[in-house]
């Protein structure tokens, strides 16, 4: 694990993994110019630089809330930096963020208080789709994925037009390796709101995982049409 510091000087232990490849035509150049220990010489320092620079931009609480965004931001840096050495980044994963016990306890207490508030709002207005959606997001942050799924499904039952809930359900499907479910939920979201870039980017990712490159490019192009600065779509598009 890498020892990093957030912008509010909280120490964070980060476990980050990288899957890469070297093109055969570039292997000899890499061995000649860098050496056989290219991982220690080039890749490890670039991972450390990228992770530490991204972690330092955000507060500890922000880091907890934006793990997927962090992973993509780090990946984009590594794709650019390692390309100069003819090393291709295939996939990356931000596997764990570990904080001090005192900070973790304080955050958990705050999350439970927020959860209780959301449950009280639902008790007062059980037919409000947004209340169920917000509780689902809170459950995600606590790692209770089953309860989060129930909340998002209830949000849709109360309002079939909650595109965000469909996207979240797609993310939960992807988490358990269900590409078909992920695609279907994001397709529903894109039909509800055609100019919503996230479902298009997610569908592009699924197409790419299936080896459907042309379909992936079409979906990712739509995501970037609606939001040209969308980092996840740009990163996935680059890998297509």
Listing DSSP states for 167-203 in one string gives: HHHHHHHHHTT-HHHHHHHHHHHHHH-TT-HHHHHHH
For residue 237, the model assigns a pLDDT of 65
81-101 pLDDT, tens digit per residue, is 998 898 988 888 888 889 988
The order of strands in the sheet holding 11-22 is 2-5, 11-22, 87-98
Which stretches of the chain score pLDDT less than 50?
none
For residue 114, the model assigns a pLDDT of 85
Around Cβ 77, how many Cβ atoms within 10 Å? 18
For residue 231, the model assigns a pLDDT of 58
For residue 55, the model assigns a pLDDT of 95
Distance (Å, whole) CA 225 – CA 201? 11
For residue 94, the model assigns a pLDDT of 87
Paired tokens of 240: 């297509």
């Amino acid at each position: 694990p890498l020892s990093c510091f957030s912008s509010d000087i909280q120490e964070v232990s980060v476990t980050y993994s990288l899957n890469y490849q070297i093109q055969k035509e570039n292997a000899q150049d890499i061995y000649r110019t860098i050496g056989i220990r290219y991982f220690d010489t080039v890749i490890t320092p670039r991972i450390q630089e990228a992770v530490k620079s991204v972690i330092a931009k955000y507060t500890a609480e922000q880091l907890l809330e934006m793990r997927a965004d962090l992973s993509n931001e780090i990946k984009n840096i590594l794709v650019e930096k390692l390309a100069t050495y003819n090393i291709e980044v295939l996939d990356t994963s931000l596997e764990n963020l570990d904080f001090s016990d005192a900070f973790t306890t304080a955050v958990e207490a705050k999350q439970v208080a927020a959860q209780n508030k959301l449950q009280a709002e639902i008790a007062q207005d059980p037919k409000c789709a947004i209340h169920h959606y917000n509780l689902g997001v809170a459950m995600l942050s606590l790692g209770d994925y089953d309860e989060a799924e129930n909340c998002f499904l209830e949000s849709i039952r109360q309002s079939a037009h909650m595109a965000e809930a469909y996207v979240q359900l797609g993310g939960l499907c992807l988490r358990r390796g269900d590409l078909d479910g992920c695609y279907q939920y994001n397709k529903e979201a894109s039909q509800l709101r055609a100019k919503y870039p996230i479902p298009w980017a997610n569908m592009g990712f699924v197409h790419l995982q299936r080896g459907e490159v042309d379909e992936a490019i079409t979906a990712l192009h739509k995501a970037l049409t609606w939001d040209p600065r969308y980092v996840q779509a740009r990163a996935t598009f680059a890998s297509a």
